[in-house]
A and B are shown apart, each in its own frame.
Chain A
Amino acid sequence: MEALIQELRTFIVDNFLFGDGSGRFAFANDDSFQQRGIVDSTGILELVCHLQERYGISIDDAEIVPDNLDSVTKVARFVERKTAERVARAS
């Protein structure tokens, strides 16, 4: 989980904060993307595309909700759950 969180943070920082996740742009893993203004509607779609490609999971429209995607921790949990589901289906 720790490694996954780090990897997701790097993606958020590189793509939405253009490489600067410090100072004024510093954010905690539980901070809401929506409330902090870190990710906008376009950003969420980019994030979803990235998760699908990087982790080989498929994300349904119905899953694009704050509970799954609105903080680094939530995304990490969501990716873990989706990955586990994929593995379970494959076996």
Chain B
Amino acid sequence: MRVNDLLEARAVDMPRKEALVCGGERYTYRQIDEEARRVAGMLHDAGVRPGDRVAVCLENSADAVVAIFAVLKARAVFFVVNPHARPAYRDHLMSDSGAAAVVERDASGKPVVTPRTHPRCNDASGGSADVDLAALVYTSGSTGTPKGVMLTHRNLTFAAQSITSYLYNTAMDVILSVLPLSFTYGLGQVTTAFYAGATLVLEPSFIYPRAVLDTMRRERITGFPIVPTMATLLLQQDLRMHRLPHLRYITNAAAALPVAKTRKLRAAFPRAELFLMYGQTECQRASYLPPELVDQHPDSVGIPIPGTSADVVDGELLVRGPHVMSGYWNDEALTSKVLGRDLLTGDAVLHTGDLFRTDANGLLYFVERRDDMIKVRGEKVAPRYIEEVIARLRGVSEVSVYGVPDDLCGEAVVASVRPADGSALTADEVRRHCLAHLEPFMVPKVVDIRSTLPTSANGKVSRRALRLLTMRRGASAA
């Protein structure tokens, strides 16, 4: 089954069913399908051929959903880029993917297809992408250079089927998502909603929680996927003011929900089921905690999603199943590091790099990441990448970047900087430089200028020591 079959089947069996509600506009399955067919024609006219990569550079909107399905109808491969992405990041994705075209807004705000003049320049596969490849989802590597996770039609449709089975999604569901479509968690809302024939209400962001809550009540939302930062913002609202009698479930993923927040969410929405889930882009979703266990095991992420397995081997979580990616785009070396083969079955085995433990009941518990990656609002941030950017600024002698616990963001990025001798470098200069060269969520929340950076026994700057110094100072200041 191809991902676009999900939409096409709905357009036939429930053409007038509402598929999407976005910015006050409502679209049926048939309308989305017809629009997608029209845009697929535009892509073809722009020279897009099967296997080509196409960037969808649009915010959460009906246009973005239409563009995704249009690319798939054209038998091409889509990837979603945040339209606010910094030019350097966007350029990197364009050249890494060898994109043949971009769907973006013109000056009047209308979505248009822009062919790229020098496509395929960086394309090691010679443009002959696997016919089953549906999407590239870019995620930060440990060096910070974004890598394209290759997800096939089978990967995406299998995950949609598996996830809807444990969430019990049906055509009665109305799901509200503020998650960006450039993430598998956000993209998955489209595929699961369409798989179930449900209605998806797509909102651009959670900057104004109150406005989202109003929409939730008005649209009789039954399913609400969140990340921990949203839980924090949600719990700051006077939730007694917002009766959401239709809300059937809330899901959390992208980062662990602290136990205290889990308990508060349960108290605030006693009639909604809370699903704590774990995944990574490389397999979309690996596990979920059946909601009836959340009060006893609020720190667990549960069991493998249906039809897959997840085992802790030497402390690391290994994931097997039809949801595991086919590899990283144009990076066989990295692919072979994380993807193994099961010697008995020949199935792909994903080495998550995340350390886990299990309890006597076989429930999974996340322990920590094996690398230094920081998770800010559910997004992965590579310290090395930020260090390289800051090191390019004049007046910087040494820099170390690390994460500290943060109530709202989960972790906050901190940069400790030693200025060059005689330099009058300020924290604002460093932050401004970062803002110009990094995505906003990567910009250090705190820039800590100091005359020396502590080193470990081997002479390298110690992130661990700096983290402790910063946290101690934070605690005494509070």
User: Separation in Å of the B186 CB from the closest CB of chain A?
Assistant: 16
User: Separation in Å of the A4 CB from the closest CB of chain B?
Assistant: 22
B207, A34: Cβ atoms closer than 8 Å: yes
Within 8 A of B (CB), among A36-58: 36-37, 39-45
In the complex, whether B301 has a CB less than 8 A from a CB of chain A is: no
Q: How many Å lie between the Cα of A64 and that of B408 in the bound state?
A: 17
Q: How many Å lie between the Cα of A77 and that of B436 in the bound state?
A: 30
Give every chain A residue within 8 A of B241 (Cβ-Cβ). Answer: 61-62
Give every chain A residue within 8 A of B205 (Cβ-Cβ). Answer: 34, 40-41
Q: How many Å lie between the Cα of A41 and that of B205 in the bound state?
A: 9
In the complex, whether B471 has a CB less than 8 A from a CB of chain A is: no
A-B pairs, top 4 by smallest CB distance, nearest first, are A37-B84, A18-B432, A18-B431, A65-B211
Within 8 A of B (CB), among A6-50: 17-20, 24-25, 33-37, 39-45
Within 8 A of A (CB), among B203-223: 204-211
Q: Scan B432-445; emit 1 where CB is below 8 A from any A CB, else 0.
A: 10011000110000
Q: How many Å lie between the Cα of A40 and that of B233 in the bound state?
A: 12
Given A18-B431, A20-B432, are A61 and B210 neighbors across the interface (CB < 8 Å)?
yes
Q: How many Å lie between the Cα of A11 and that of B440 in the bound state?
A: 18
Q: How many Å lie between the Cα of A20 and that of B440 in the bound state?
A: 14
Q: How many Å lie between the Cα of A17 and that of B443 in the bound state?
A: 11
Q: Scan B411-436; emit 1 where CB is below 8 A from any A CB, else 0.
A: 00000000000000000100110011
Give every chain A residue within 8 A of B435 (Cβ-Cβ). Answer: 17-18, 20, 25
Question: Interface size bucket, A side?
Answer: 20 to 34
Q: How many Å lie between the Cα of A45 and that of B238 in the bound state?
A: 15
B210, A41: Cβ atoms closer than 8 Å: no
In the complex, whether B59 has a CB less than 8 A from a CB of chain A is: yes
Give every chain B residue within 8 A of A17 (Cβ-Cβ). Answer: 432, 435
Within 8 A of A (CB), among B163-216: 204-211
Given A17-B435, A18-B428, A42-B408, are A61 and B238 neighbors across the interface (CB < 8 Å)?
yes
* Selected A-B contacts with CB under 8 Å, 9 pairs: A18-B428, A19-B432, A25-B435, A34-B204, A37-B84, A40-B440, A41-B229, A61-B241, A62-B241
Q: How many Å lie between the Cα of A70 and that of B237 in the bound state?
A: 19
In the complex, whether A69 has a CB less than 8 A from a CB of chain B is: yes
User: Separation in Å of the B86 CB from the closest CB of chain A?
Assistant: 9
A41, B84: Cβ atoms closer than 8 Å: no
In the complex, whether B255 has a CB less than 8 A from a CB of chain A is: no
Give every chain B residue within 8 A of A18 (Cβ-Cβ). Answer: 428, 431-432, 435
Give every chain A residue within 8 A of B233 (Cβ-Cβ). Answer: 41
